[in-house]
Amino acid sequence: MVGARQRKARPLGLSPKAGARKRTPEPRAGKDAPVGLAVRRTAAAMLRQVIEHGTALDALLDERNGNPHFRALDRRDRAFVRAILGAALRRRGEIEAALKNALDRPLPENSGALSAILHVAAAQILFLEVPAHAAVDLAVEQAGSDRRTGRARGLVNAVLRNLVRNREEILARSSRDAGRNMPAWLFTRLSDAYGEPTALKIAAAHLATPGLDLSVKSDAGLWAERLGGTALPAGTVRLAGTHRVTELEGYDEGAWWVQDAAAALPARLLGNVQGRTVADLCAAPGGKTAQLAAAGASVTAVDLSESRVRRLGENFRRLALEARLVAANLLFWQPDEEFDAVFLDAPCTATGTIRRHPDIQWLKTPEDVATLAALQTKMLDRAAALVKPGGRLVFATCSLQPEEAEAHVAPFLTRHPEFVLEPIETAEVAGLSDLVTPAGTLRTLPFQSFGDGPNLAGMDGFFAARFTRRAG
Protein backbone atom coordinates (compact mmCIF):
# COMPACT_ATOMS: atom_id res chain seq x y z
CA MET A 1 0.00 0.00 0.00
CA VAL A 2 1.52 3.30 -1.08
CA GLY A 3 0.15 5.21 1.88
CA ALA A 4 2.29 3.16 4.23
CA ARG A 5 5.47 4.43 2.57
CA GLN A 6 6.22 7.08 5.18
CA ARG A 7 9.99 7.56 5.38
CA LYS A 8 12.02 9.64 7.78
CA ALA A 9 13.33 12.79 6.18
CA ARG A 10 16.77 12.37 4.59
CA PRO A 11 17.68 8.85 5.85
CA LEU A 12 21.15 7.40 5.45
CA GLY A 13 22.81 10.31 7.20
CA LEU A 14 21.56 13.09 4.94
CA SER A 15 20.14 15.31 7.63
CA PRO A 16 19.19 18.80 6.41
CA LYS A 17 19.75 20.21 9.89
CA ALA A 18 23.21 18.74 10.15
CA GLY A 19 24.01 19.86 6.61
CA ALA A 20 22.87 23.40 7.26
CA ARG A 21 25.45 23.90 10.01
CA LYS A 22 28.54 23.51 7.85
CA ARG A 23 29.58 23.98 4.26
CA THR A 24 30.12 20.91 2.10
CA PRO A 25 33.87 20.51 1.53
CA GLU A 26 34.96 20.95 -2.06
CA PRO A 27 36.36 17.82 -3.79
CA ARG A 28 40.12 17.53 -3.99
CA ALA A 29 41.99 15.42 -6.50
CA GLY A 30 45.75 14.93 -6.54
CA LYS A 31 47.74 14.77 -9.73
CA ASP A 32 48.07 10.99 -9.38
CA ALA A 33 44.36 10.38 -8.67
CA PRO A 34 42.75 7.54 -10.66
CA VAL A 35 40.99 8.46 -13.89
CA GLY A 36 37.34 9.22 -13.18
CA LEU A 37 37.80 10.03 -9.50
CA ALA A 38 37.44 13.80 -9.99
CA VAL A 39 34.09 13.23 -11.71
CA ARG A 40 32.74 11.13 -8.82
CA ARG A 41 34.04 13.57 -6.22
CA THR A 42 32.41 16.47 -8.01
CA ALA A 43 29.12 14.61 -8.38
CA ALA A 44 29.09 13.67 -4.68
CA ALA A 45 29.89 17.22 -3.58
CA MET A 46 27.15 18.65 -5.80
CA LEU A 47 24.64 16.07 -4.58
CA ARG A 48 25.36 17.16 -1.02
CA GLN A 49 24.86 20.80 -1.99
CA VAL A 50 21.41 19.96 -3.32
CA ILE A 51 20.21 17.64 -0.56
CA GLU A 52 21.91 19.11 2.51
CA HIS A 53 22.05 22.80 1.62
CA GLY A 54 19.05 23.21 -0.68
CA THR A 55 21.03 24.55 -3.65
CA ALA A 56 19.24 24.36 -7.00
CA LEU A 57 20.91 21.99 -9.42
CA ASP A 58 20.63 24.46 -12.31
CA ALA A 59 22.75 26.94 -10.35
CA LEU A 60 25.44 24.31 -9.77
CA LEU A 61 25.46 23.24 -13.42
CA ASP A 62 25.65 26.76 -14.81
CA GLU A 63 28.72 26.84 -17.05
CA ARG A 64 29.43 30.49 -16.26
CA ASN A 65 28.76 30.75 -12.52
CA GLY A 66 28.22 27.18 -11.31
CA ASN A 67 30.29 24.82 -9.20
CA PRO A 68 33.95 25.62 -10.03
CA HIS A 69 35.05 21.98 -9.98
CA PHE A 70 32.25 21.10 -12.38
CA ARG A 71 33.25 23.94 -14.69
CA ALA A 72 36.88 22.76 -14.61
CA LEU A 73 35.96 19.35 -16.07
CA ASP A 74 36.05 18.71 -19.80
CA ARG A 75 32.82 18.49 -21.77
CA ARG A 76 32.50 14.70 -21.62
CA ASP A 77 33.08 14.60 -17.86
CA ARG A 78 30.55 17.39 -17.29
CA ALA A 79 27.98 15.36 -19.23
CA PHE A 80 28.77 12.35 -17.03
CA VAL A 81 28.29 14.40 -13.85
CA ARG A 82 24.89 15.52 -15.17
CA ALA A 83 23.94 11.91 -15.87
CA ILE A 84 24.99 10.76 -12.39
CA LEU A 85 23.11 13.56 -10.65
CA GLY A 86 20.04 13.03 -12.83
CA ALA A 87 19.88 9.36 -11.89
CA ALA A 88 20.70 10.00 -8.22
CA LEU A 89 17.91 12.57 -7.88
CA ARG A 90 15.27 10.90 -10.06
CA ARG A 91 15.78 7.51 -8.41
CA ARG A 92 16.62 8.71 -4.93
CA GLY A 93 13.89 6.68 -3.22
CA GLU A 94 14.92 3.45 -4.91
CA ILE A 95 18.59 4.08 -4.13
CA GLU A 96 17.82 4.80 -0.48
CA ALA A 97 15.81 1.58 -0.21
CA ALA A 98 18.54 -0.49 -1.86
CA LEU A 99 21.25 0.96 0.39
CA LYS A 100 19.12 0.53 3.48
CA ASN A 101 18.63 -3.15 2.66
CA ALA A 102 22.38 -3.58 2.25
CA LEU A 103 23.26 -1.87 5.54
CA ASP A 104 23.07 -3.40 9.00
CA ARG A 105 22.17 -0.03 10.48
CA PRO A 106 21.56 3.50 9.18
CA LEU A 107 24.57 5.69 8.58
CA PRO A 108 25.19 8.22 11.36
CA GLU A 109 24.18 11.81 10.67
CA ASN A 110 27.80 12.95 11.01
CA SER A 111 29.00 10.62 8.27
CA GLY A 112 29.88 13.56 6.04
CA ALA A 113 30.33 12.61 2.40
CA LEU A 114 29.76 8.88 2.98
CA SER A 115 26.08 8.89 2.07
CA ALA A 116 26.69 10.95 -1.05
CA ILE A 117 29.54 8.62 -2.11
CA LEU A 118 27.20 5.64 -1.80
CA HIS A 119 24.35 7.38 -3.68
CA VAL A 120 26.62 8.42 -6.54
CA ALA A 121 28.03 4.91 -6.89
CA ALA A 122 24.61 3.26 -6.58
CA ALA A 123 23.21 5.52 -9.32
CA GLN A 124 25.97 4.24 -11.63
CA ILE A 125 25.59 0.58 -10.69
CA LEU A 126 21.81 0.46 -10.92
CA PHE A 127 20.83 2.98 -13.58
CA LEU A 128 23.79 3.98 -15.77
CA GLU A 129 25.84 2.05 -18.30
CA VAL A 130 28.99 2.10 -16.16
CA PRO A 131 31.18 -0.95 -15.49
CA ALA A 132 30.32 -2.06 -11.98
CA HIS A 133 33.95 -2.54 -10.97
CA ALA A 134 34.76 1.07 -11.88
CA ALA A 135 31.85 2.44 -9.84
CA VAL A 136 32.82 0.30 -6.81
CA ASP A 137 36.58 0.82 -6.98
CA LEU A 138 36.36 4.60 -7.40
CA ALA A 139 33.84 4.91 -4.56
CA VAL A 140 36.18 2.95 -2.27
CA GLU A 141 39.09 5.14 -3.40
CA GLN A 142 37.07 8.28 -2.73
CA ALA A 143 36.06 7.13 0.74
CA GLY A 144 39.64 6.22 1.59
CA SER A 145 41.03 9.59 0.49
CA ASP A 146 38.90 11.54 2.99
CA ARG A 147 39.86 11.35 6.68
CA ARG A 148 36.18 11.58 7.67
CA THR A 149 35.22 8.54 5.60
CA GLY A 150 38.53 6.65 5.47
CA ARG A 151 37.47 4.03 8.01
CA ALA A 152 34.41 3.23 5.88
CA ARG A 153 36.32 1.82 2.90
CA GLY A 154 35.31 -1.72 3.80
CA LEU A 155 31.69 -0.76 4.34
CA VAL A 156 31.53 1.06 0.99
CA ASN A 157 33.06 -1.95 -0.78
CA ALA A 158 30.68 -4.44 0.87
CA VAL A 159 27.51 -2.39 0.36
CA LEU A 160 28.20 -1.63 -3.28
CA ARG A 161 29.19 -5.21 -4.12
CA ASN A 162 25.88 -6.25 -2.55
CA LEU A 163 24.13 -3.92 -5.02
CA VAL A 164 26.11 -5.40 -7.92
CA ARG A 165 25.14 -8.97 -6.93
CA ASN A 166 21.47 -8.14 -6.43
CA ARG A 167 21.05 -5.58 -9.21
CA GLU A 168 18.42 -7.47 -11.22
CA GLU A 169 16.34 -8.22 -8.14
CA ILE A 170 16.57 -4.61 -6.97
CA LEU A 171 15.48 -3.26 -10.36
CA ALA A 172 12.62 -5.73 -10.64
CA ARG A 173 11.35 -4.74 -7.22
CA SER A 174 11.72 -0.99 -7.79
CA SER A 175 10.06 -1.00 -11.23
CA ARG A 176 6.77 -1.90 -9.59
CA ASP A 177 6.51 1.31 -7.60
CA ALA A 178 7.76 4.59 -9.05
CA GLY A 179 6.04 6.50 -6.25
CA ARG A 180 8.82 5.71 -3.80
CA ASN A 181 11.06 8.14 -5.70
CA MET A 182 9.01 11.10 -4.49
CA PRO A 183 9.09 12.53 -0.99
CA ALA A 184 6.17 10.98 0.90
CA TRP A 185 4.39 14.31 1.40
CA LEU A 186 4.43 15.07 -2.32
CA PHE A 187 3.15 11.65 -3.37
CA THR A 188 0.36 11.90 -0.81
CA ARG A 189 -0.63 15.37 -2.04
CA LEU A 190 -0.73 14.19 -5.66
CA SER A 191 -2.71 11.08 -4.73
CA ASP A 192 -5.24 13.23 -2.90
CA ALA A 193 -5.52 15.60 -5.87
CA TYR A 194 -5.58 13.16 -8.80
CA GLY A 195 -6.02 9.68 -7.32
CA GLU A 196 -3.23 7.21 -6.61
CA PRO A 197 -3.15 5.63 -10.13
CA THR A 198 -2.60 9.05 -11.71
CA ALA A 199 -0.01 9.97 -9.07
CA LEU A 200 1.90 6.80 -9.93
CA LYS A 201 1.81 7.71 -13.64
CA ILE A 202 3.17 11.16 -12.79
CA ALA A 203 5.95 9.59 -10.71
CA ALA A 204 6.83 7.22 -13.55
CA ALA A 205 7.01 10.10 -16.04
CA HIS A 206 9.53 11.86 -13.78
CA LEU A 207 11.97 8.97 -14.21
CA ALA A 208 12.50 9.51 -17.94
CA THR A 209 15.06 12.08 -19.04
CA PRO A 210 13.19 14.45 -21.36
CA GLY A 211 14.38 15.67 -24.73
CA LEU A 212 14.89 19.32 -25.68
CA ASP A 213 11.86 21.40 -26.71
CA LEU A 214 12.31 24.53 -28.83
CA SER A 215 9.73 27.19 -29.68
CA VAL A 216 10.41 28.50 -33.17
CA LYS A 217 9.50 31.87 -34.63
CA SER A 218 8.01 30.25 -37.73
CA ASP A 219 7.77 26.96 -39.65
CA ALA A 220 8.23 24.28 -37.00
CA GLY A 221 8.21 21.62 -39.71
CA LEU A 222 11.21 23.17 -41.46
CA TRP A 223 13.22 23.47 -38.26
CA ALA A 224 12.28 19.94 -37.21
CA GLU A 225 13.76 18.73 -40.48
CA ARG A 226 16.88 20.85 -40.17
CA LEU A 227 17.53 19.84 -36.55
CA GLY A 228 16.49 16.22 -36.87
CA GLY A 229 13.59 16.62 -34.47
CA THR A 230 9.82 16.23 -34.36
CA ALA A 231 7.32 19.03 -34.98
CA LEU A 232 4.78 19.20 -32.13
CA PRO A 233 1.56 21.22 -32.03
CA ALA A 234 1.76 24.92 -31.13
CA GLY A 235 5.03 25.60 -32.96
CA THR A 236 7.36 23.41 -30.92
CA VAL A 237 10.24 21.28 -32.17
CA ARG A 238 11.30 18.39 -29.95
CA LEU A 239 14.80 16.93 -30.12
CA ALA A 240 15.57 13.57 -28.55
CA GLY A 241 18.52 13.23 -26.20
CA THR A 242 20.71 15.97 -24.74
CA HIS A 243 22.27 18.82 -26.69
CA ARG A 244 24.55 21.82 -26.31
CA VAL A 245 22.00 24.48 -27.12
CA THR A 246 24.48 27.11 -28.27
CA GLU A 247 25.88 24.77 -30.90
CA LEU A 248 22.56 23.93 -32.58
CA GLU A 249 21.72 25.39 -35.99
CA GLY A 250 19.57 28.48 -35.65
CA TYR A 251 20.82 29.53 -32.23
CA ASP A 252 23.05 32.38 -33.36
CA GLU A 253 20.45 33.70 -35.80
CA GLY A 254 17.75 33.66 -33.10
CA ALA A 255 15.39 31.31 -34.91
CA TRP A 256 14.14 29.65 -31.72
CA TRP A 257 14.33 29.54 -27.94
CA VAL A 258 14.22 26.74 -25.37
CA GLN A 259 10.73 26.20 -23.94
CA ASP A 260 8.85 23.08 -22.89
CA ALA A 261 5.99 22.30 -25.25
CA ALA A 262 3.42 22.54 -22.44
CA ALA A 263 4.87 25.87 -21.32
CA ALA A 264 4.17 27.21 -24.81
CA LEU A 265 0.41 26.65 -24.50
CA PRO A 266 -0.74 29.24 -21.88
CA ALA A 267 0.41 32.32 -23.84
CA ARG A 268 -1.78 31.19 -26.75
CA LEU A 269 -4.81 31.75 -24.53
CA LEU A 270 -4.48 35.53 -24.92
CA GLY A 271 -5.56 35.09 -28.54
CA ASN A 272 -4.50 37.49 -31.27
CA VAL A 273 -2.15 39.97 -29.60
CA GLN A 274 -0.97 41.73 -32.76
CA GLY A 275 -0.62 45.43 -31.95
CA ARG A 276 -1.97 45.01 -28.41
CA THR A 277 -0.34 46.03 -25.16
CA VAL A 278 0.50 43.03 -22.99
CA ALA A 279 2.08 42.87 -19.54
CA ASP A 280 4.05 39.68 -18.93
CA LEU A 281 4.39 39.46 -15.15
CA CYS A 282 7.10 37.37 -13.47
CA ALA A 283 8.48 37.12 -16.98
CA ALA A 284 11.89 35.44 -16.59
CA PRO A 285 13.30 33.32 -18.13
CA GLY A 286 11.33 34.86 -21.00
CA GLY A 287 9.92 32.07 -23.14
CA LYS A 288 6.38 33.41 -22.97
CA THR A 289 7.64 36.97 -23.42
CA ALA A 290 9.30 35.84 -26.65
CA GLN A 291 6.08 34.16 -27.80
CA LEU A 292 4.09 37.34 -27.26
CA ALA A 293 6.68 39.60 -28.88
CA ALA A 294 7.02 37.26 -31.88
CA ALA A 295 3.23 37.36 -32.26
CA GLY A 296 3.34 41.14 -32.62
CA ALA A 297 2.39 42.29 -29.13
CA SER A 298 3.80 45.40 -27.49
CA VAL A 299 5.15 43.60 -24.42
CA THR A 300 6.18 44.96 -21.04
CA ALA A 301 8.07 42.22 -19.23
CA VAL A 302 8.27 42.56 -15.44
CA ASP A 303 10.39 40.49 -13.08
CA LEU A 304 11.62 41.00 -9.54
CA SER A 305 15.22 39.95 -10.25
CA GLU A 306 17.52 42.42 -11.99
CA SER A 307 19.90 39.62 -12.99
CA ARG A 308 17.08 37.63 -14.59
CA VAL A 309 15.92 40.74 -16.43
CA ARG A 310 19.46 41.24 -17.75
CA ARG A 311 19.55 37.62 -18.93
CA LEU A 312 16.16 38.10 -20.58
CA GLY A 313 17.56 41.14 -22.38
CA GLU A 314 20.51 39.10 -23.66
CA ASN A 315 18.13 36.47 -25.02
CA PHE A 316 16.00 39.10 -26.73
CA ARG A 317 19.02 40.58 -28.47
CA ARG A 318 19.85 37.14 -29.85
CA LEU A 319 16.24 36.64 -30.93
CA ALA A 320 16.03 40.15 -32.46
CA LEU A 321 12.78 40.75 -30.56
CA GLU A 322 11.66 43.85 -28.71
CA ALA A 323 10.08 44.27 -25.31
CA ARG A 324 10.12 46.81 -22.51
CA LEU A 325 12.00 45.18 -19.63
CA VAL A 326 11.25 46.22 -16.06
CA ALA A 327 12.93 45.01 -12.86
CA ALA A 328 10.31 45.61 -10.17
CA ASN A 329 8.24 44.04 -7.44
CA LEU A 330 4.86 43.40 -9.04
CA LEU A 331 3.01 44.11 -5.80
CA PHE A 332 4.27 47.71 -5.85
CA TRP A 333 4.75 48.34 -9.57
CA GLN A 334 2.72 51.27 -10.88
CA PRO A 335 2.59 51.46 -14.71
CA ASP A 336 1.29 54.57 -16.44
CA GLU A 337 -1.73 52.80 -17.94
CA GLU A 338 -3.72 49.58 -18.01
CA PHE A 339 -3.06 46.84 -20.56
CA ASP A 340 -5.12 45.14 -23.23
CA ALA A 341 -3.99 41.81 -21.76
CA VAL A 342 -2.03 40.61 -18.75
CA PHE A 343 -0.20 37.31 -18.39
CA LEU A 344 0.74 36.23 -14.87
CA ASP A 345 3.08 33.25 -14.68
CA ALA A 346 3.08 33.23 -10.91
CA PRO A 347 5.92 31.97 -8.68
CA CYS A 348 5.21 28.44 -7.50
CA THR A 349 6.86 25.26 -6.23
CA ALA A 350 7.38 24.23 -9.89
CA THR A 351 6.47 20.61 -9.17
CA GLY A 352 5.21 20.37 -12.74
CA THR A 353 8.80 20.62 -13.98
CA ILE A 354 10.31 17.76 -11.95
CA ARG A 355 10.83 15.72 -15.13
CA ARG A 356 13.30 18.43 -16.25
CA HIS A 357 14.48 19.48 -12.78
CA PRO A 358 14.53 16.38 -10.55
CA ASP A 359 16.06 18.29 -7.65
CA ILE A 360 12.87 20.32 -7.14
CA GLN A 361 11.06 17.57 -5.27
CA TRP A 362 13.92 17.46 -2.75
CA LEU A 363 14.09 21.24 -2.36
CA LYS A 364 10.41 22.01 -1.75
CA THR A 365 8.25 21.43 1.32
CA PRO A 366 4.52 21.53 2.15
CA GLU A 367 5.18 24.87 3.83
CA ASP A 368 6.43 26.24 0.49
CA VAL A 369 3.11 25.34 -1.13
CA ALA A 370 1.14 27.34 1.44
CA THR A 371 3.53 30.31 1.33
CA LEU A 372 3.53 30.54 -2.44
CA ALA A 373 -0.24 30.08 -2.72
CA ALA A 374 -0.70 33.10 -0.44
CA LEU A 375 1.73 35.14 -2.56
CA GLN A 376 -0.11 34.10 -5.73
CA THR A 377 -3.36 35.46 -4.32
CA LYS A 378 -1.77 38.87 -3.82
CA MET A 379 -0.18 38.82 -7.26
CA LEU A 380 -3.42 37.77 -8.94
CA ASP A 381 -5.26 40.67 -7.32
CA ARG A 382 -2.54 43.06 -8.43
CA ALA A 383 -2.56 41.67 -11.98
CA ALA A 384 -6.35 42.15 -12.17
CA ALA A 385 -5.93 45.87 -11.50
CA LEU A 386 -3.72 46.19 -14.61
CA VAL A 387 -6.31 44.90 -17.10
CA LYS A 388 -8.38 47.30 -19.19
CA PRO A 389 -12.16 46.83 -19.30
CA GLY A 390 -12.80 44.21 -21.96
CA GLY A 391 -9.24 42.88 -21.63
CA ARG A 392 -8.00 39.41 -20.78
CA LEU A 393 -6.05 38.03 -17.84
CA VAL A 394 -4.32 34.64 -18.00
CA PHE A 395 -3.11 33.14 -14.72
CA ALA A 396 -0.64 30.25 -15.07
CA THR A 397 1.63 28.16 -12.86
CA CYS A 398 3.93 25.19 -13.47
CA SER A 399 2.76 23.48 -10.27
CA LEU A 400 0.90 20.20 -9.87
CA GLN A 401 -0.52 21.36 -6.53
CA PRO A 402 -4.20 22.47 -6.75
CA GLU A 403 -3.56 25.03 -3.98
CA GLU A 404 -1.26 26.85 -6.41
CA ALA A 405 -3.57 26.46 -9.39
CA GLU A 406 -7.21 25.37 -9.62
CA ALA A 407 -8.01 26.47 -6.09
CA HIS A 408 -7.47 30.13 -7.02
CA VAL A 409 -10.24 30.35 -9.64
CA ALA A 410 -13.42 30.52 -7.55
CA PRO A 411 -12.03 32.83 -4.83
CA PHE A 412 -10.66 35.20 -7.49
CA LEU A 413 -14.07 35.48 -9.16
CA THR A 414 -15.66 36.15 -5.76
CA ARG A 415 -13.19 38.91 -4.98
CA HIS A 416 -13.42 40.36 -8.49
CA PRO A 417 -16.98 40.28 -9.82
CA GLU A 418 -15.78 42.51 -12.66
CA PHE A 419 -14.13 39.40 -14.15
CA VAL A 420 -15.64 36.27 -15.66
CA LEU A 421 -13.96 32.95 -16.43
CA GLU A 422 -13.58 32.57 -20.19
CA PRO A 423 -13.51 28.82 -20.96
CA ILE A 424 -10.66 27.50 -23.09
CA GLU A 425 -11.54 25.80 -26.36
CA THR A 426 -9.79 22.63 -27.47
CA ALA A 427 -8.72 24.29 -30.73
CA GLU A 428 -6.71 26.84 -28.73
CA VAL A 429 -4.46 24.10 -27.36
CA ALA A 430 -3.72 22.38 -30.65
CA GLY A 431 -6.80 20.14 -30.49
CA LEU A 432 -5.57 18.28 -27.40
CA SER A 433 -8.89 17.77 -25.65
CA ASP A 434 -7.35 15.87 -22.71
CA LEU A 435 -5.65 19.09 -21.62
CA VAL A 436 -8.89 21.07 -21.17
CA THR A 437 -10.75 20.48 -17.90
CA PRO A 438 -14.57 20.36 -17.59
CA ALA A 439 -14.33 23.82 -15.95
CA GLY A 440 -12.71 25.22 -19.08
CA THR A 441 -9.19 25.60 -17.66
CA LEU A 442 -5.91 24.13 -18.89
CA ARG A 443 -4.23 21.30 -16.97
CA THR A 444 -1.28 19.34 -18.33
CA LEU A 445 0.33 16.39 -16.57
CA PRO A 446 3.86 14.99 -17.10
CA PHE A 447 2.74 11.64 -18.55
CA GLN A 448 0.42 13.12 -21.18
CA SER A 449 1.30 13.00 -24.85
CA PHE A 450 1.09 15.20 -27.93
CA GLY A 451 -0.01 12.22 -30.00
CA ASP A 452 0.85 8.64 -30.88
CA GLY A 453 4.37 7.83 -31.90
CA PRO A 454 7.95 8.15 -30.69
CA ASN A 455 9.16 11.39 -29.15
CA LEU A 456 5.62 12.67 -28.53
CA ALA A 457 5.10 11.58 -24.92
CA GLY A 458 5.80 13.79 -21.93
CA MET A 459 5.30 17.43 -21.05
CA ASP A 460 5.65 19.69 -18.03
CA GLY A 461 2.73 20.01 -15.64
CA PHE A 462 0.98 23.34 -16.16
CA PHE A 463 -2.23 25.03 -15.13
CA ALA A 464 -3.82 28.07 -16.75
CA ALA A 465 -7.12 29.89 -16.37
CA ARG A 466 -8.35 32.75 -18.56
CA PHE A 467 -10.46 35.61 -17.25
CA THR A 468 -12.08 38.50 -19.10
CA ARG A 469 -12.78 41.87 -17.49
CA ARG A 470 -16.31 43.01 -18.20
CA ALA A 471 -16.48 45.98 -20.54
CA GLY A 472 -17.57 49.14 -18.76
Q: Enumerate the active-site residues.
A: 398
Query: Which residue, 351, 402, 395, is CA-closest to 373?
Result: 402
| Cα 164 → chain centroid | 31
- Report the alpha-carbon distance of residue 277 to residue 300 in Å, rounded: 8
- Report the alpha-carbon distance of residue 206 to residue 91 in Å, rounded: 9
Strands 230-232 and 236-239: antiparallel
- Report the alpha-carbon distance of residue 41 to residue 34 in Å, rounded: 11
| Cα 130 → chain centroid | 26
- Report the alpha-carbon distance of residue 190 to residue 200 in Å, rounded: 9
Other Cβ atoms less than 10 A from the Cβ of 241: the count is 9
- Report the alpha-carbon distance of residue 23 to residue 43 in Å, rounded: 16
Report the interhelical angle of 184-194 vs 366-384 (nearest 10°): 50
C-alpha distance from residue 413 to each of 161, 340, 369, 393 (Å): 60, 19, 22, 12
Helix (H) or strand (E) holding 118: helix 114-127
